[in-house]
Structure 1
Amino acid sequence: MKINTLNATLLAALVILAGCSKNTGIGGAAGDASETTLKANALFAQELKLDDQQDFENAKRGFIAKPSGKITTADGTVLKDFDAYNFLDGKAADTVNPSLWRHAQLNANFGLFKVSEGVYQLRGFDIANMTLIEGKKGWIVVDPLTARETSSAALAFANQHLGKKPVSAVIITHAHADHFGGVLGVVTPKEVAERNIPVVAPEGFMEEATSENILVGTAMARRSLYQFGRDLPRNAKGNVDTGLGKDVAYGTIGIIAPTVLVTQPEQKMDIDGVGFVFYNAPGAECPAEMTFSIPAKRLYDGAENLSQQMHNLLPVRGAKVRDALRWSNYMDHALEQVREADVYIASHNWPEWGNANIKKLITMHRDVYKYTHDQTVRLINAGYTIKEIPDLVKLPKSLSEYFGARGYYGDLRHNVKAVYQFYLGAYDGNPANLNPLPPQESAKRYLELIGGADKAVAAAQTAYDKGDYRWAAELLNHAVFGDPSSKTAKELLAKTYDQMGYVAEAATWRNSYLTAALELRNGPPAKGASKAMLMEMLLQTPIERFLEAMAAGLNGPDAEGKNLKVNLVLTDLKESYVLWIENSVLHFKKAAPADDANATLTLTRDIFVKMIAGTAGVKDTLLSDDLKIGGSKIDLVRFFGLIDKAPGTFAIVTK
């Protein structure tokens, strides 16, 4: 039967909608810097040569033009406000770590820059850089940003000032969305096919680009709001930077499958008359990543294995743990790859000029990751745990004084934990931590022992007044989790996070602390990350990724004892899958429709993806002739009703 006779109950079961959460905060605004914070930041300023101007000269070198105004989505949502960070002019604010303030100023050099002859960069249009290399026929675009809106604006800005050229090739250095998501803003799949435009990417690109954003995309998107400080105001008490660049553009994300893959450790290629040497570097910063050189231009592109700060081995938003030792080894190889290089560029931050300076940048990164790895392993073998080692590992002065490897995006303490987790997991070996109580239950019992939330808050206030913010936060976390109704605990914890954010050198830590304070005051976000902005990418994602995510969304307890089988027939792809629940597990296989299935859902790929993403409307479903149902509608409702529809608004600091 056709879907236009389907009742509303079935539609609700099929379409995954974003949920809402209540505002449970305390209100108020971020506080001023405390005396402890002022002293800590003043000490930071004394210990570092913050007046060193070489990075500022490099960040401004080759400047051609600066954009103004805003970049918006079709509905008027602002993705980029080029004036939002004007407050960074001048000396460091009391509420920002002075080292981070310096880095934030460097990243605030927006615009179009000439790096060398025939090589240009657009910085500040998104968190990443777009690089344009002049070929014989047009622009070779390297890393086309996160969103279609920002990449389109960046390319138009370059064409305005450099003369309009067609896109002759696209190079995507790795499988993170801020480097490929804007590809449809510079070229379309139709153009790629008709003009035979090469789209070059590392081996494994499509698999990695689509898997990370589908399987645990809801949780990563929620946690990314902390890492990138999306909802924070752009001011000295809020978002000043992300470390890698300014704010991420949460716009329309797309993808195009590569037409050329780099599969060898070293692979030469001529692209539109320009000779490239690509170096495959998987499994460090990204599971699929490559760097490259252009020997004729004496240029080396470090992608995101190299940037002007320490990177993270485990992002605050969450990801698979990265291999510090492998990363260090890639940097050692890079020293050979830059033997003739005079210009270094990368996917983030500003370039470096001069072979000696380039080698120093690479050497420092090599040794930061190797030192972090080796010292963590040494202390692991001495019996120290994941909670102890971060306070024991300190970089030697030769590394810590080098601005290009300081922890503005990654953080040494967090990276140490990542190395521990890489080898031993999060468990510290102490049986008391094998089966601990859930945090809410543990917090309630701590409060009972202390004598209630008020006493915990009083003790935390004493710690706060002494500037002992780590202890205050630990006490108040128990108070908030154990007694969610305590507005006093939330208010003091928000104030504590303010101060911890104000002294943090890592932009990711600052954004996390200040976002936590924001949510304590105002509650978690009302809506999760919009799936609509991912549609252009999701429509290119293999169906298997969606089925894996559906399986991971099955509510196991609710599925106990239920054995249901559903055929999924995708008419436009001429593919079919059999999905079945067995032992509270959702399985699937690509196969002809099963005769014993409870129901058969026949539809196009586009409608199926829109349903899963929660963007399907009435025209896509009730009014569509492209969707049919055979068998039991009731069983189909039961089947899809067992799939949890996570809205991505879960509380983090107010559970």
Structure 2
Amino acid sequence: MRNSQKRCTAIVLASALFTTGAFAAPNGATEATKKANQEIADYLPFSNTQDFEDAKRGFIADLPSPIIKGEAGNTVIDLSQYDFLKKEGASPDTVNPSLWRQSQLLAIRGLFEVVEGVYQVRNVDLANVTFVRGKTGWIVIDPLTSSETAKAALDLVNDKVENLPVSAVIFTHSHVDHFAGLRAIVDEEDVKSGKIPVIAPDGFMEEAVSENVFAGNVMSRRASYMYGNLLPKDPQGNVGGGLGLTTAAGTITLFEPSKIITKTGEKMVVDGLDVEFQMAPGTEAPAEMLFYFPQYKIIDLAEDANHTLHNILTMRGAKVRSAKKWADTLSETIEMWGDDAVASIGSHHWPQWGQEKVVEHLEKQRDLYKYINDQTLRMANQGMTMHEIAEAFVLPDSLGKEFYNRGYYGNLKHNVRATYQLYQGFWDGNPSNLDPLPPAEEAKKYVEMVGADKMLATAQAAYDNGEYRWSATVGNKLVFADPSNQKARDLTANALEQMGYQAESGPARNFYLTGAKELRDGVQKAATPNTSSPDIIRGMTPAMLFDYLGVRLNPEKAAGKDLTLNLRFTDLEQDYTLTVKNSVLNYKAEAAEEPDVSLTISKADLDDIQLGVATLEEQVANGKLKIEGRQEAFTEFLGMLDTFEFWFEMVAP
């Protein structure tokens, strides 16, 4: 179990550590790319600088250093790598001017006052952390991606505003960039004793631990693309992620919240402040909530209203979200607090001030998601397929010219396809597409039919004409037919690169440019942090663990096997039966009468094995793991479990 758990959780932390060596240099922007980027510059109201004024409003202080290090001297985040974004003047030819503007806004970092008593530390990590002045101390909202960045933020507000104890913590939702700095903020014993409440939405703990477990390896690999972690940080590489600049590669921490909010309208007094809650499950996260501080007249929008179009389906991969549910939630937010709020804040980006601006922002974000939902369905009902809808989809100017509705993080076409998928699935209904050939086999048949030289010439002509999507499509067929065809790899990389330079979405840009890099240089097995933190692993319930073992079960190795294993967790005083039959692992919460083998161990000691703190052999030798019955049955069971290679090919078969 030890190796297989290495990258099963908390996928957003694939780090910017990369190997050195002779890599192919990127190209500049072509005339076609310059023209495409100029069209965006001409369309959007770049003369409106209100966002820059708002992003700087209330500035108090920056971090003492742009580099935050861990206890071992490791670099957790180096914000100075993005200093190139402070350059004034026109955007570089190699960056979409709208994305460049967004990235410049995200480079405005430090401690800010929202209103007297409410402060945010922004852009020292992927997300914001908010500090609300309670009766006795700081109510901390969303303590970032790592304990190191959370501590730096807490130190900053204590130093520059007021040195206060932490009196409460509130999690808006279950994504790792909003909870993982918890242990730098509060002591677990103070929470268990009831001294300091940690408040979270219903389902938080299960979702926080499980979201990235079952498909964790593939999600992590795709996240290394999505966040541009393997790209240099410069105008030809990573310029940020649209939602934030980058993620911290520090220590992930978590423990059980002490108070769970379960219904909209629920109210709670937190360190002398009234807080009103709105549930928002299944919007941006499976477990999410928004809330309102009447004394400050501030709405915390969590991640349901931002200065970007968000993801209906994240490019790293996850369960598709409902644009309609998202819109309905924001309508409810307006109804609950829109008449009274004087400001709104979120888990990312900068606030809105003034009741009219707060409501206008909420209305236009709501209408953005409602438009995506309704118009995707309208066109689907006209018989248009997923890709046809995405190609034809256009936002009205009243929505599309609002900078906070642009696709800096979520991509409009991707979200339209995701909405189609939610209602209709990925198949377009054409029986010719019901059972397509696998990509490599299909590619070989295309090359056999057309000829490699002809296809290469076609891809080159398309590139020369600025038809980069078609050039990449043809080039990709050649690469999948023959991965050693370096001319095809280089040409496809060239096309993807220009598409990256044109992309308004940070994640889309990062996907294109990382794909181009790997086509040229091959897969570089860079060092990445172990994101399976002890708190995440220990937070897995037995059911989560057994479900994950079922994912790892290799059907060929399990073929014809009929095994029954009893497992008793001594610390939980609970027995389980695991069975392997029909190449499927099932389990139930009781002991079998005649198992092939019985294991007795505490859940904590099994966690130590998963975390690499101890081996199976060591736990047997020290008596912490007792095995009774046919021991070879346990060895046989372990031999059926796959381990997952992280650095699998993404742009080649």
- Please, what TM-score do these two structures have when normalized by structure 2? 0.94
The 5 Å alignment of 1:226-245 reads: 226-245=225-244
Q: Distance in 2 between the 1:650 and 1:512 partners?
A: 15
The 5 Å alignment of 1:4-403 reads: 16=4, 27-67=23-63, 68-89=65-86, 90-91=88-89, 92-194=91-193, 196-336=195-335, 337-403=337-403
Q: Distance in 2 between the 1:560 and 1:133 partners?
A: 58
Q: Distance in 1 between the 2:621 and 2:122 partners?
A: 45
Q: In 2 relative to 1, CA 297–14 (structure 1 residues): closer, same or farther, beyond 3 Å?
A: closer
Secondary structure of 2:112's aligned partner: strand
Which of 615, 627, 630 is the matching residue for 2:628? 630
Q: Distance in 1 between the 2:624 and 2:115 partners?
A: 53
Q: Which residue of 1 aligns with 2:441?
A: 441
- CA shift for structure 1 position 84: 1.2
- CA shift for structure 1 position 600: 2.4
Q: Which residue of 2 aligns with 1:3?
A: none
Letter in 2 for 1:347: S
Q: Which has the higher contact order (CA 8 A, sep 6+)?
A: 1
- CA shift for structure 1 position 522: 2.9
Letter in 2 for 1:492: L
CA deviations over 1:537-585 (Å, ceiling 9, x no partner): 2212212111111111111132110111222222233223211101111
Q: Distance in 1 between the 2:618 and 2:269 partners?
A: 44
Letter in 1 for 2:364: M
Q: Which residue of 2 aligns with 1:552?
A: 551
Q: In 2 relative to 1, CA 199–631 (structure 1 residues): closer, same or farther, beyond 3 Å?
A: same
Q: In terms of mean alpha carbon deviation, does 153-162 or 341-350 score higher?
A: 153-162
CA contact (8 A) 1:251 1:533 kept: no
- CA shift for structure 1 position 445: 0.8
Letter in 2 for 1:274: L
Q: Distance in 2 between the 1:87 and 1:137 partners?
A: 41
Which of 602, 605, 610 is the matching residue for 1:604? 602
* Residue 543 (structure 1) aligned with residue 542 (structure 2): yes
Q: Distance in 1 between the 2:608 and 2:238 partners?
A: 33
CA contact (8 A) 1:332 1:366 kept: yes
Runs of 4+ displaced beyond 3 Å: 13-19, 73-77, 527-533, 610-625
Letter in 2 for 1:645: T
Secondary structure of 1:122's aligned partner: strand
CA contact (8 A) 2:5 2:532 kept: no
- CA shift for structure 1 position 527: 6.3
Letter in 2 for 1:304: E
Which of 639, 642, 650 is the matching residue for 2:640? 642
- CA shift for structure 1 position 418: 0.8
Q: Distance in 2 between the 1:580 and 1:60 partners?
A: 59
Q: Distance in 1 between the 2:61 and 2:615 partners?
A: 43
Q: Distance in 2 between the 1:637 and 1:73 partners?
A: 39
Q: Which residue of 1 aligns with 2:460?
A: 461
CA contact (8 A) 2:202 2:262 kept: yes
CA deviations over 1:134-183 (Å, ceiling 9, x no partner): 11121100011111221122112222222321111000011111111221
Q: Which residue of 1 aligns with 2:420?
A: 420
- CA shift for structure 1 position 490: 1.2
- CA shift for structure 1 position 17: 7.3
Letter in 1 for 2:75: V
CA deviations over 1:34-62 (Å, ceiling 9, x no partner): 11111111221121121311000000001
* Residue 486 (structure 1) aligned with residue 485 (structure 2): yes
Q: Distance in 1 between the 2:147 and 2:532 partners?
A: 10
- CA shift for structure 1 position 532: 5.2
- CA shift for structure 1 position 603: 2.5
Q: In 2 relative to 1, CA 69–479 (structure 1 residues): closer, same or farther, beyond 3 Å?
A: same
Gaps of 5+ in 2: 8-18
CA contact (8 A) 1:230 1:248 kept: no
CA contact (8 A) 2:609 2:616 kept: no
Q: In terms of mean alpha carbon deviation, does 413-422 or 443-452 score higher?
A: 443-452
Q: Distance in 1 between the 2:309 and 2:531 partners?
A: 33
- CA shift for structure 1 position 488: 1.2
Secondary structure of 1:649's aligned partner: coil
CA contact (8 A) 2:343 2:353 kept: yes
CA contact (8 A) 1:528 1:647 kept: no
- CA shift for structure 1 position 281: 1.2
- CA shift for structure 1 position 629: 2.3
- CA shift for structure 1 position 400: 0.7
Q: Distance in 2 between the 1:75 and 1:575 partners?
A: 39
Q: Which residue of 2 aligns with 1:7?
A: none
- CA shift for structure 1 position 620: 5.5
Letter in 2 for 1:243: G
Q: Distance in 2 between the 1:567 and 1:522 partners?
A: 49
Q: In terms of mean alpha carbon deviation, does 644-653 or 621-630 score higher?
A: 621-630
CA contact (8 A) 2:323 2:369 kept: yes
Q: Distance in 1 between the 2:534 and 2:114 partners?
A: 35
Alignment RMSD (CA, Å)? 2.0
- CA shift for structure 1 position 80: 1.1
Q: In 2 relative to 1, CA 231–606 (structure 1 residues): closer, same or farther, beyond 3 Å?
A: farther
- What is the number of residues matched between the two proteins? 637
Q: Distance in 2 between the 1:654 and 1:74 partners?
A: 39
CA contact (8 A) 2:144 2:150 kept: yes
Q: In terms of mean alpha carbon deviation, does 207-216 or 287-296 score higher?
A: 207-216
Letter in 2 for 1:384: M
Q: Distance in 2 between the 1:420 and 1:528 partners?
A: 37
CA contact (8 A) 1:531 1:615 kept: no
Alignment identity in percent?
43
Q: Which residue of 1 aligns with 2:431?
A: 431
Q: Which residue of 1 aligns with 2:13?
A: none
Q: In terms of mean alpha carbon deviation, does 524-533 or 639-648 score higher?
A: 524-533
Q: In terms of mean alpha carbon deviation, does 538-547 or 367-376 score higher?
A: 538-547
- CA shift for structure 1 position 274: 0.8
Secondary structure of 1:215's aligned partner: coil
Letter in 1 for 2:584: V
Q: In terms of mean alpha carbon deviation, does 182-191 or 517-526 score higher?
A: 517-526
Q: Distance in 2 between the 1:549 and 1:581 partners?
A: 14
CA deviations over 1:573-612 (Å, ceiling 9, x no partner): 32232111011110111213x3422222332323322434
Q: Which residue of 1 aligns with 2:407?
A: 407
- CA shift for structure 1 position 125: 1.9
CA deviations over 1:302-339 (Å, ceiling 9, x no partner): 10001111111000011111111111111111222221
CA contact (8 A) 1:500 1:513 kept: yes
Q: Distance in 1 between the 2:531 and 2:264 partners?
A: 37
Q: Distance in 1 between the 2:497 and 2:618 partners?
A: 46
Q: Which residue of 2 aligns with 1:585?
A: 584
Gaps of 5+ in 1: 1-12
CA contact (8 A) 2:126 2:247 kept: yes
CA contact (8 A) 2:172 2:290 kept: yes
- CA shift for structure 1 position 375: 0.8
Q: In 2 relative to 1, CA 15–624 (structure 1 residues): closer, same or farther, beyond 3 Å?
A: farther
Q: Distance in 2 between the 1:524 and 1:183 partners?
A: 35
- CA shift for structure 1 position 246: 1.1
